Amino acid sequence: MDDVTKDECREVLDNLERYLDGECPADLEAVVAEHLSDCPPCLHRSDFERALSSLIARHCRDTAPAGLLDRVLTTRRRSCEQVDVAAAKRL
Ligand SMILES: [Zn+2]
């Protein structure tokens, strides 16, 4: 994996949350989609984010007490970092 690829991955991951929420501009969405089709680590991260988002939505949308969502989102950040570490070890 060279530096150009890493830069591209970073840009994709920076925009991944907006991409999954459907909030990216169309041109950026196309860039992210093309990258994901060609980059298994980013695709894995994307699947992870998507699964986590739906889990959070299912469990927290209607009944979350104040503060719970913040805690979940904090945990979510940590989980993502752990995934990155695990992915990095495999490379
Ligand atoms: Zn990538």
Q: Where are the domains of the chain?
A: 6-90
User: Ligand 1 mean position to 68 CA, how many Å?
Assistant: 31
Terminal Cα distance for the chain, rounded: 9
User: Ligand 1 mean position to 9 CA, how many Å?
Assistant: 4
Strands (E), the chain: none
The verdict on pTM exceeding 0.95 is: no
Residue 76 · residue 52 · CB < 8 Å: yes
pLDDT digits (tens, 9 = 90+) for 22-42: 999 999 999 999 999 999 999
Residue 35 · residue 42 · CB < 8 Å: yes
User: Ligand 1 mean position to 57 CA, how many Å?
Assistant: 26
Residue 19 · residue 28 · CB < 8 Å: yes
**How far, in Å, CA of 62 to CA of 55, rounded?**
13
Percent of the chain exceeding pLDDT 70 equals 64
